[in-house]
Structures are given as C-alpha cells and as structure tokens.
Amino acid sequence: MRLSSHYRFLSVTTALVAICLVSPAVADDVIAQASSPDSTLSVKVYVNVEGKLSYGIERKGQAVIAPSRLGFILADSPKLDGQFAMQSQQTSSHDETWEQPWGERRFVRNRYNELRVNVVQKAYDNRRMTVVFRLFEDGVGFRYEFPEQAQLKTVRIVDEQTEFTVADNATAWWNLGGEWNNLEYSYNQTPLKEVGQANTPLTVKTDKGVYISFHEAALTDFASMWLRRTEGQTLKARLTPASFGPSVERLAPFPSPWRTLVITDNAPALYNSDLILNLNEPNKLGDVSWFKPSKYVGIWWEMHLEKSTWAQGPKHGATTANTKAYIDFAARNGFRGVLVEGWNKGWDGQWYGSGKDFSFVEAYPDFDLKAASAYGLKKGVHLIGHHETGGNIALYESQMEDAFKLYAAHGVDSVKTGYVTDGGAAQFPKPGGGTHYGFTDSQEGSRHYTKVLETAAKYKIAINSHEPIKDTGLRRTYPNWVSREGARGQEYNAWGNPVNAPEHEANLVFTRMLSGPMDFTPGVLSLEGNKREILSTQAKQLALYVVLYSPIQMAADLPENYAKYPKPFQFIKDVPVDWSESSMVAGEVGDYAVIARKDRNSEDWYMGGISDDQWRSVDVPLSFLDPAKNYTAQIYRDGNKADSKGPARFDIVIESKTVTAKDVLALKMAPGGGTAIRFVPKK
C-alpha cells in the first residue's frame, strides 16, 4: 500500500513537472461534451492549466482526433488562445429536410446535435468567444463566433491556431496548398506524416479503417484555410495571407467558416455525406428556376488544341460563323448551351496574369453578339458567356455590372469566369485607387467571388468559376454558383507536360469532388490532346459524366470528332445533369468509384464507374433500382483489351441487357478505364 502510494506521489510530481515544461500539449479538464444523434461520434472540449482550449473527437468510443488546439492570434490584441474559462454552454437537437433546386439529390436531411461552448478570458477584460460544434452521424463541423463586445470590436486575425491531430497512423490523399498553381496540382498519396502544406478537402484513411475528409464550409468574407502539417500527424489551419496586414479583418459579430471533418468507416460514405451543404445557410436568392441544369458544347477545345486562337487573326475561333456552326451542332444533338471564349477584346498579347486590355462589353469585329445569340435562341440554344480576367479582379469589378447587363439583354443566362494568374498574383482594387496583388483564396478574394454571384443573380445569370476559390458548399446559399473548376481538369490533357495520370479522377472523386460540382469538361472521345494521347479509355470519358457531378456538363470534343464516334456519343446525348438521388455504391480512395444516380426528370437510372491505373472488377448489386420494374441496361464498357495507352483506349463494348434490382453486375474496368450505364424501365 505505502509503496504504491509513494509511487503514485512520484508520478503525479512527474506529471506536474511535465505540465510546466510542455504544458500546451497537455489537455486537462473536460469542460463540455456532446454526441451525434445516433451516438456514433462524440466531441469533448478541454481547458488546460493555462486556459488553452482544445477539442477531441471519438468514433464509437475510439479516439479519431486526439486533443487538438483551438484559438487565434490577433494583430492588435492579446491572443485568443489561453486564459480561457468556461462561461456557459448550451446543447440543442435539429432534424429537418430541405429541398435543393438542383443537385445530386432532391431532398437533403440535416440532422445534428449542437453544442455551444461560451468561453471568457478573465485576464483580458472578460473577452468572450464561442465555439459551436455540430455533430452529425457522419461528421463534425465546428466554428468560432466572435460576439459583439467593446473589448474586441474589430477582429484582426493573424493566425488561426486550430489543429487536427489524427489519433491513429494514417495515409493521406492531398495536393499542395498556397503555391503558384493555385488549386491545380496533382494529388499525392503519402503517409499523413509526410504531408506538407495542403489544400482541402484532404482525405485520410487510418490503419484502423476510419476515413476522414478535412475541409471547411460556408467560406464567406474570410480567408481560405490551407492545412500545414506541423509535427507527427498534426495538421494546423493556415489562413491565406492578405496582401497587407492580418489574414482576416472584420467587425464583430461574425462567425468563422465551419471547420469540417466527415468521419466514416468506408470510402463511399465520405462521398455520400451532405455535411458540407448542411452547414451552409439556406438559399438567399429565392426562386432560381431560371437556372436550367444542362449540357453544353463550345468554342473551347479547339483553342486548347491550338487549332484556333482566342486572339484576333486568321485563326480567331470566336467568329459569328463558327458560333453559328456550334449552335447548329448543339441544336441537332440536344445541347442547350454554346460556350464562346475569345469573343471580347483583350486577348491579343499576354493576357494571363495581366488582363489589362480586357473589355467585357466590347466584341472583336468578327463576332456579333446580337446576331449569334438571336440565331441560337431561335433554335432553343443559349450562348454561354465568358469573362476571363487574367486575374485582374480590379478591372473586372469596374465593368462587372455592365458586363452582366449586356449578356442578360441577349438571353445569356450563364457565364464562365476565369482568373488565370499565379497564386498570390491576382490584382485587387486598392481603396482610393490603383491595384495591389493578392491570393484569390484570401479574404478579399472570397468577397470578390460573392460579389460576382450577387451581381450575376440580379440579372438571373448562373456562374461557373474557373480558377475559383475552393468550393465550401455556398451553392446552397447562392444556387446560381452552379459549378467551378478548382482542380486539374481536362485542359491538362490538351496541354500535356504532363497529361492527367490514369488515377487522377479516382483521386479527384475522393478529394476535390467532396467539396462540390466540378466543370471538368469530360467527353473527349478522340482521346487526343495537342500531340499527346489522353490516358483514358473511351468508356471512362463517358463514365465521368456520372462520376464527376456538375449541373452543367460540357461535351468538350470537336464536333467532327463526335461525328467519328456516333455510338459512344449517344451516351453523352442521353445522360442527364440533374438528379433526384445519388449514391456511391462502391469505391476506395484513389482506386475506383462507382456512382448510381436517378434522373430528376424521368424514371431512368444511370451508373458510372471509373478505375485508376489498374484493372478492377467490382460486383455492384443493382438494389437501387425499383424492384417492381425490369430495366434495359445500355452498357458502355471497356473491351477485354482496353488500356490507358495506345489504340487499346478505343476498345469499347456497347451492349444491352435486361436487369432487375435483384441482379449483381460485375463491372470490369481497364487501367484508365470505366463503365457507363443507362437503365431504362421496360414498358
């Protein structure tokens, strides 16, 4: 007895010494806790001896996120990190189902328990801060609220202290954040311990089989968050720097974006989560039925192949005559939109990273906006507008109102925007005149993208941003933000140096696609870039329409190439872009994914499967089909010799089968391959 209590005394002393030496890492008292409605996930909030706040997450009683820090460093006020004491806490439960105007599914259930932790810093005039946690069945979101208070009227955030320490050894799928090529880096698969500075969504799988996707939701008027690994398996929030002063400067009261963790025990459940959308505010725009989810073609791939130019000259692509030819092609094949890039002044000379000569209202002499749009509208085809800024946000903002007004006057109801410049080199307006350089994912970048949406919405115009700030689910609040780029898309297959790897899309679907729709522009059936072959089979190009969700989808290839492949082209004509239900039915991060979706406007189902650089055989139960119906499955699959390289890319088998909900389909997908299926109920 005596001996053991003596030892206990010793070890307590050791612990106290340890606290004094390395105190920030030691989490002490649990001051609040909560669990998800079904008790799968739980959160504990701690305060240590120095009053530092941290949180930890458990899944089914096992630690997933070890105690990890919370807080901020401010520019002109003591840190919001330490000296905290609990003031009060509240819990509440929510369960509602809301309807999406368009999307992967029509109805979304939003069911969570909320924990509000109100803390106070007695040493600093009783400054207050609130951390709000929302616990869902499949993840956790938390955010900070800065209340209105005399002690901290304007909050100037230099650094966010939020950390995410993954408890078990994990593998990560991630790409670089905060570098010159913005969001357009290839994905890495490495031990979590080898991550540098990453974008989000960043996905990890632990050795115990737990999957976590780290991201953020509702990023408005705030700097975007990169994740920098500090040590071991700890990722720390790194706010995009501002050009001058703190990363974030705002008048209280305001909330931070949600820091989100989707946490599941299988890869498809990561994809099937609605957590990001649920953490966004409801629709602010009201009726957006003027936005028509649809497919489009356009004057685009031909420029990337260098067959024509954006600039003026003998090879100018955006002529009235060429536009009319695309309109005819669109009308013949049932596409609603024709994108026209290079119609406006400013493309001559060096436009990227400069944009100084762009006019968003003046056309080149060989393009007649009025005539081209009227020609289209007669045939039920709408021009899709294009605003490439070259990163010159200042110039764009000065013309934005007139630019949208002009398009609206000509029946153009969706616009693709672009910001081609290096990370940190976008030009923002300086208050009082002039410009300065900055990141598009900075706080002022986030303000700009919102301003574009609000201005476009006034004219009933939908936005597809290229070189965007990352998607954080704002399409729920602004349903005219219909798609965006924000990753390596098909254009890299035109340029080469290098083309996208065969596993690129199998990485995308478990990273970038967890944030929202992507304008990837699939469907290049010629499988040829500018002198380089695309490392994909034809069947995979079709499958991407189902796998990479977007309510607008381009048929990116040249019309003459579609003329060569009428049979696979049929799938591109058939596939819808708006769904009543969607579900990933099989998949593994970076390896393969199979997604089933039901058309919002018919009883048809569709399925898309993609593989990485390996042959995959996946058995897929068709239990999603209506058990009372028989279906014809129109199957577009890789042939037995299909491969990601050479002539074998064109080895496609197109066949029909009668199937029911009781059947199990064996999908065989080649390296760089895939399968696309349309299920039509039999009469």
> Looking at the annotation, which residues are catalytic?
491
**Which one of ligand NOJ, Ca ion, none is in contact with 73 (Cβ closer than 5 to 8 A by kind)?**
none
Q: Considering the complex, state which of residue 352 and residue 650 has its C-beta at the smaller distance from ligand NOJ.
A: 352
**Which one of ligand NOJ, Ca ion, none is in contact with 159 (Cβ closer than 5 to 8 A by kind)?**
none
Torsion angle defined by CA atoms of residues 631, 634, 637 and 639, in that order, rounded to the nearest 10 degrees = 110
Distance from C-alpha of 146 to C-alpha of 533, rounded to nearest angstrom: 53
CB-CB contact of 234 with 164 (8 Å): yes
* 153: amino acid identity, one letter: K
Site for Ca ion in 466-505 (CB under 5 A): 466
Residues forming a β-bridge with 188: 174
* 544: amino acid identity, one letter: L
Residues forming a β-bridge with 281: none
DSSP-assigned letters across all residues of 191-231: EGGG--EE-SSEEEEETTS-EEEEEEE---SSPPEEEEEEE
Please report how close the Cβ of residue 578 comes to ligand NOJ at its closest, in angstroms.
22
Q: Mask 29-68, x = binds Ca ion (CB under 5 A)?
A: ----------------------------------------
Nearest partner of 665 among 645, 636, 628, judged by Cα: 636
* 574: amino acid identity, one letter: D
Please report how close the Cβ of residue 466 comes to Ca ion at its closest, in angstroms.
5
**Which one of Ca ion, ligand NOJ, none is in contact with 540 (Cβ closer than 5 to 8 A by kind)?**
none
CB-CB contact of 256 with 144 (8 Å): yes
Q: Considering the complex, state which of residue 466 and residue 600 has its C-beta at the smaller distance from Ca ion.
A: 466
Q: Considering the complex, state which of residue 136 and residue 343 has its C-beta at the smaller distance from ligand NOJ.
A: 343
CB-CB contact of 208 with 515 (8 Å): no
**Which one of ligand NOJ, Ca ion, none is in contact with 341 (Cβ closer than 5 to 8 A by kind)?**
ligand NOJ
Buried residues in 133-159 as b, exposed as e (16+ CB within 10 A): bbbbbbbbbbbbbbeeeeebeebbbbb
Q: Considering the complex, state which of residue 485 and residue 557 has its C-beta at the smaller distance from ligand NOJ.
A: 485
Q: What is the CA radius of gyration of the chain?
A: 26
Please report how close the Cβ of residue 520 comes to ligand NOJ at its closest, in angstroms.
10
Please report how close the Cβ of residue 491 comes to ligand NOJ at its closest, in angstroms.
5
CB-CB contact of 551 with 102 (8 Å): yes
Among the listed ranges 315-323, 362-370, 440-448, 459-467, the one in contact with Ca ion (CB under 5 A) is 459-467
Q: Considering the complex, state which of residue 416 and residue 598 has its C-beta at the smaller distance from Ca ion.
A: 416
Q: How many residues bind Ca ion (CB under 5 A)?
A: 1
Give residue number: closest CB to Ca ion: 466
**Which one of Ca ion, ligand NOJ, none is in contact with 274 (Cβ closer than 5 to 8 A by kind)?**
none
Please report how close the Cβ of residue 526 comes to ligand NOJ at its closest, in angstroms.
18
**Which one of Ca ion, ligand NOJ, none is in contact with 481 (Cβ closer than 5 to 8 A by kind)?**
none
Among the listed ranges 147-155, 361-369, 460-468, 512-520, the one in contact with Ca ion (CB under 5 A) is 460-468
Q: Considering the complex, state which of residue 410 and residue 466 has its C-beta at the smaller distance from Ca ion.
A: 466
CA 184 to chain centre: 12
Nearest partner of 205 among 236, 247, 177, 233, judged by Cα: 233
Per DSSP, the chain holds a count of helices (H) and strands (E) of: 13, 38
By three-state DSSP, how is residue 211 classified?
Answer: strand
Residue 583 Cα distances to 16, 40, 668, angstroms: 51, 21, 20
**Which one of ligand NOJ, Ca ion, none is in contact with 108 (Cβ closer than 5 to 8 A by kind)?**
none
Give the other-Cβ count within 10 Å of 646's Cβ: 9
By three-state DSSP, how is residue 117 classified?
Answer: strand
Residues that bind ligand NOJ (CB under 6 A): 300, 341, 388, 418, 420, 466, 485, 491
User: Roughly what angle, to the nearest 10 degrees, separates helices 393-409 and 443-458?
Assistant: 10
Among the listed ranges 230-238, 303-311, 462-470, 595-603, the one in contact with Ca ion (CB under 5 A) is 462-470
Please report how close the Cβ of residue 239 comes to ligand NOJ at its closest, in angstroms.
26
**Which one of Ca ion, ligand NOJ, none is in contact with 418 (Cβ closer than 5 to 8 A by kind)?**
ligand NOJ
Q: Considering the complex, state which of residue 466 and residue 512 has its C-beta at the smaller distance from Ca ion.
A: 466
Q: Considering the complex, state which of residue 272 and residue 493 has its C-beta at the smaller distance from Ca ion.
A: 493
CB-CB contact of 166 with 233 (8 Å): yes
β-pairing, 154-160 vs 248-251, is antiparallel
Please report how close the Cβ of residue 151 comes to ligand NOJ at its closest, in angstroms.
46
Please report how close the Cβ of residue 489 comes to Ca ion at its closest, in angstroms.
6
Contact set with Ca ion (CB under 5 A): 466
